[in-house]
Structure 1
């Protein structure tokens, strides 16, 4: 009997299995880079097994996530990962985006560039871990939602059944061409909350760079913020999602190249090796001046943004501003 040639998906799946045999702790993002494919393409090879392709009904699906109880929201770019545990509540459309303002979770999800989504089951030393994972047209992960031990597993299974796509073939279904489609200007959305409207100009020409600090000074500054329990706003994003933390930070830890904030409901992982420095920027919001930090990569891309607490009447926290400017004087580059 003639042996049938392996399909592209089968070949890729076998290559991934071989890679995991040699590197059992390698993350799928790194495995995809090693194999020269996107994360979505690699994940799709297990469709019909531990991976279920979802229908692209993103607003309805995200609204259903609000019924699950506490989940962990994860948004990352190449050099920073932000994780927040809380509830998906107050879910509303805003132009090309979906805004979520739940307990301990604040998201601006740019679903206009979302292309594919999967329900994923992974084996861990604590047992199966369930998640919903979303990808753009290039197969890059834009947002992931992980069930916590307090989430409703039964409702999760029902959600997956409802949004299960008809096509569960292991073949990747990325478009054959082009980058993500252009999106409208979020600031033109009348329903955009003030918290997002205030932070969105931070990476544009509206922000004036007034100073710069290196990674050692940034690390020391974050340690000061943690010691003082000073409320701050930390924003990490990619073309398909923005995730905001608003509150103090506490537990800082360096692990290899990673600078980590490891709090109960908020984690940040920042790859120090990729950080060229942090620009101190100033901009105007209504009648107030704002001062913040844009953490930059080697190509001047923004990895993360950090701003101080804000009050609608008095503006930004003056202690935050003074502390940041003092840090710049002490450790600027």
Structure 2
């Protein structure tokens, strides 16, 4: 006999409660993996309580985020988390892509693979934390937006009321076998601004491998960049979102397996246990040389991308290129 969807959701919710009782600090992403479901399925079990399912009006919803004042944008993949605090100001739809720029915020969102979204209230030791969370067809989180202490909580509640979906059942259908596009798969789109096209070229066959560096050399180049306060671009992405930091980095910290950048307005967390190496790639863009660093996992998938600052008149930073090419390589892949 087939179980009723609500009964399935109730069973899953109870399993999650039992798991949290044994592991009170376990993150929902890890809990979902432990229970063999997607994060979106697990989150939906709390609909009607501290979770509100939202309508799938992505451009309008993202546009309304601009009224909330500073928020924290979070985009991650399996091994890196990219957090930026700033404003969602200019929302520019380009087909299945939405480009967002604002003070300290730069996003390229592939909404064609988005499937569901929720407003979420989480209890923390600092009190309730409010967020908007977006998931793809596989139930994986592609992008999250957290209110900061300076954000307008009243406007947030009004936004949730406006975009509240009619269906608030705790059941979410199991994920589909969504096609996972590679980071930079939209690089050929002529609709993207030049700086996005230039950045994503590092993920195309036009990029020539110049060598691979090991994790110690990756730490060293990050240390040098922080010491020099050299402006760089740091990109973390997944099939549904790419998030960019443009500027220097400064405060570095190692915590267990995590290499962290802990700057005001920008945090980066990289799981070094997953890093197989970092590829130095070179290419030409409009008759100018470009050099990039692609941090890879064991399956040769890109975890994060770092490139130097680029000036339309002078090209990329010569200091960035010199630092990168001076690193000890462990040979081509």
TM-score > 0.5, shorter chain as reference:
yes
1:195 Cα deviation after fit: 1.2
- Contact 1:214 1:332 (C-alpha < 8 Å) held by counterparts: no
- Contact 1:79 1:270 (C-alpha < 8 Å) held by counterparts: yes
Instruction: Report SS of the residue matched to 1:25.
Output: coil
TM-score (norm 2): 0.95
Cα distance between partner residues in 2 of 1:119 and 1:210: 45
1:220 Cα deviation after fit: 1.0
Q: CA RMSD in A?
A: 2.0
1:186 Cα deviation after fit: 3.5
Distance 1:281 1:42, change over 3 A: same
Cα distance between partner residues in 2 of 1:167 and 1:6: 13
Instruction: Report SS of the residue matched to 1:328.
Output: coil
Q: Which residue of 1 aligns with 2:219?
A: 219
Cα distance between partner residues in 2 of 1:208 and 1:226: 27
1:179 correspondence with 2:178: yes
Distance 1:206 1:21, change over 3 A: same
Cα distance between partner residues in 2 of 1:170 and 1:235: 34
- Contact 1:211 1:328 (C-alpha < 8 Å) held by counterparts: no
Q: Which residue of 2 aligns with 1:278?
A: 278
1:96 Cα deviation after fit: 1.2
Unaligned runs of 5+ in 2: none
- Contact 2:90 2:101 (C-alpha < 8 Å) held by counterparts: yes
Cα distance between partner residues in 2 of 1:224 and 1:181: 35
Instruction: Report SS of the residue matched to 1:319.
Output: helix
Q: Which residue of 1 aligns with 2:203?
A: 203
Q: Which residue of 2 aligns with 1:87?
A: 87
Work out the number of aligned pairs and report it.
Answer: 328
Q: 268-277 or 177-186: which moved more?
A: 177-186
Distance 1:5 1:304, change over 3 A: closer
Unaligned runs of 5+ in 1: none
Deviations 1:158-187 (A, max 9, x none): 100000000000001355x43148799644
- Contact 1:95 1:189 (C-alpha < 8 Å) held by counterparts: no
1:317 Cα deviation after fit: 0.1
Deviations 1:187-226 (A, max 9, x none): 4544411110101121121111001100011001100100
Q: Which residue of 1 aligns with 2:321?
A: 321
Instruction: Report SS of the residue matched to 1:129.
Output: strand
- Off by >6 Å, runs of 4+ in structure 1: 181-185
- Contact 1:107 1:242 (C-alpha < 8 Å) held by counterparts: yes
Cα distance between partner residues in 1 of 2:64 and 2:328: 45
Q: Which residue of 1 aligns with 2:30?
A: 30
Cα distance between partner residues in 2 of 1:144 and 1:289: 35
Cα distance between partner residues in 2 of 1:5 and 1:82: 35
Q: Which residue of 2 aligns with 1:266?
A: 266
Q: Which residue of 2 aligns with 1:297?
A: 297
Equivalences for 1:129-168 in 2 at 5 Å? 129-168=129-168
Deviations 1:73-126 (A, max 9, x none): 000000000000000011101121100111101000100110000000000111
- Contact 2:6 2:169 (C-alpha < 8 Å) held by counterparts: no
